[in-house]
Amino acid sequence: MPQSDFLNGTPHPLATPMNENMKQLQARVERAAEVALAQKKYVSPIDILVGIRWLPQSVLDQWRQGRLPSLERGTEVNLHKLSTAMHLFRSWAARRGLVPSETAYVARNRGRQPLRFSVSGQEGVERGYRTHWVSPELSEQKRQRLAERQSRPPDLAAIVPLNEWTCSHCGGTGGFLLMEEPGPVCLTCADMDHLVFLPAGDATLSRRAKKASRLSLVVVRFSRARKRYERQGILVEETALERAEDECLADEDARARQRLRAVERRRTEDVGFQARFAREIRNLFPGCPEVRAEAIALHAAARGSGRVGRSAAGRALDVEAVRLAVVASVRHQDTPYDELLMSGVDRLGARDRVQDAVDEVLEMWARRAEG
């Protein structure tokens, strides 16, 4: 099968009816697409590859920094499967009536070079990867603003190193580095050592300092536990930070009142979302007691918990996300899973031992409704 022509309108060469593996892939692609569309009002090929777990976040970060020759080289499947998934994605977008919008991708480094998606570099394939599919519910004006926002060059990124390192230009080191070719560069060699670090934590101060600074960088650090880069703060000009601090002091009282209103608004939103999550649990498992469904929703959808209910899929009330929340609750409350962990059994081994008990509860909740 040739590499994808999925944006050129060329039909995908699926000469035979879909087999079971193809149907499963289609379901995964469409589920990832629906989640992204619900969350952002548009879907990109990258959303699909990340959503179906063919593209690790760490690899995506490296590619965005300009450290990979092509995105396809970082995926965990062959080009045949990539092409198939992209055709399934395009077919879904056509059925949903989404509007194509081509977007520029440039590296998060000083060179700002265009990023390459495909191994072949063919323009048709590159254009397909660059194309985002936008909800027709958005007005033309909103689609234009979205396209402008997506096409803006990304923030430059400075990395907090985990290990000792040496600048590829001067042989020195430092607390921050920029990833470039042929290797890491210190702030001095990058002519950015006049910037000061503002830790994350005060969103208003960070936003104002960045706006006032002619040059700024996002500071990230790689999390070994989460396998991704996480934001630590920003580097900005010192005069910009001083100006932002003065502005924040001047309107602190007004912002304090706004924060109180925002807390109440979020509390109301959380109550509504948890109620919807509980209803989805009952829709999926009608035999689940109402009180239990509410308890699962309250736990899984707690703001800031990092649990499945707060994921993009959970917020979109994706069926798989709701099911996983129920499974987690059953595992902890209706099986000896926690006791096995406390006795020294590893997590995967403990899950295997209680899987039959979990399935039994889920099947009972489903059968109860049928009766």
Last residue of a domain, one of 106, 130, 151: 151
As for how many domains the chain has, the answer is 3
- Has residue 14 been placed in a domain? no
CA-wise closest residue to 319 among 274, 364, 277: 277
pLDDT at position 85 over 70: yes
Do 131 and 189 lie in one domain? The reply is: no
Among 110, 136, 151, identify where a domain stops. Answer: 151
Within 13 Å, how many C-alpha atoms sit on residue 350's CB side? 16
246 and 306 both lie in a single domain: no
Could you tell me if 109 and 179 lie in one domain?
Answer: no
Q: Domain for residue 360, yes or no? A: yes
Same domain, 180 and 126: no
- Note the pLDDT of residue 368: 60
**Domain boundary residue, one of 106, 127, 151:** 151
pLDDT greater than 70 at residue 12: no
Query: Would you say residue 221 has pLDDT above 80?
Result: yes
Which residues, in sequence order, are CB contacts of 307 under 8 Å at separation 6+?
299, 300, 301, 314, 325, 328
Token readout for 125 is 């394939």
Q: For the chain, first and last CA: distance in Å?
A: 49
Mean pLDDT value across residues 62-86: 91
Whether 27 and 131 map to the same domain: the answer is: yes
Q: Is position 4 within any domain?
A: no
Q: Which residues lie below 8 Å from residue 138, measured CB to CB, with a gap of 6+? A: 41, 146
Q: Does residue 336 lie within any of the structural domains?
A: yes
- Residues 217 and 292 both lie in one domain: no
| Residue pLDDT, tens place only, 270-315 | 899 999 999 999 999 999 999 999 999 999 988 888 888 888 788 8
Confidence of residue 18 (pLDDT cuts 50, 70, 90): confident
- Alpha carbons 362 and 336: distance in angstroms, whole number: 16
Residue 122 lies in a domain: yes
Average pLDDT value over all residues in the chain? 89
Average pLDDT for 113-131: 93
Q: Same structural domain for residues 312 and 205?
A: no
Sheet holding 177-179, edge to edge: 184-186, 177-179, 157-159, 217-223, 228-237, 195-199
More confident residue, 368 or 352: 352
Please check whether residues 112 and 220 belong to one and the same domain.
Answer: no
Q: Which of 110, 100, 1, 122 is nearest to 45 (CA)?
A: 100
Q: What is the pTM assigned to this prediction?
A: 0.63
Q: Give the CA distances from residue 213 to residues 111, 190, 209, 322, in Å, rounded to whole numbers and listed in that order.
A: 20, 17, 6, 43
- Closest by Cα among 301, 306, 304 to 280: 301
Shared domain for 91 and 107, answered yes or no, is yes
Whole-number Å distance between alpha carbons of 356 and 337: 12
Q: Is the pLDDT of residue 179 over 70?
A: yes
Torsions phi, psi of 235, nearest 5? Answer: -110, 125
Q: Give the pLDDT score at 17.
A: 64
Residue 66 lies in domain = 20-151
Q: How far apart are CA 233 and CA 155, in angstroms?
A: 12
**Looking at the domain assignment, is residue 5 inside a domain?**
no
Least confident of 74-83, 218-227, 334-343, 361-370: 361-370
Same domain assignment for residues 326 and 296: yes
Residue 7 belongs to a domain: no
Is the domain of 50 the same as that of 129?
yes
CA atoms of 52 and 60, how far apart (whole Å): 14
How much is the pLDDT for 1?
A: 33
Burial 281-314 (b: 16+ CB within 10 A, else e): bbebbebbeeebbbebbbbbbeeeeebbbbbbbb
Dihedral, CA of residue 56, residue 60, residue 62 and residue 68, to nearest 10: 100
The answer to whether the Cα torsion of 167, 169, 170, 171 is positive or negative is: positive
Residue at 2 is within a domain: no
State whether 259 and 245 are in the same domain.
no
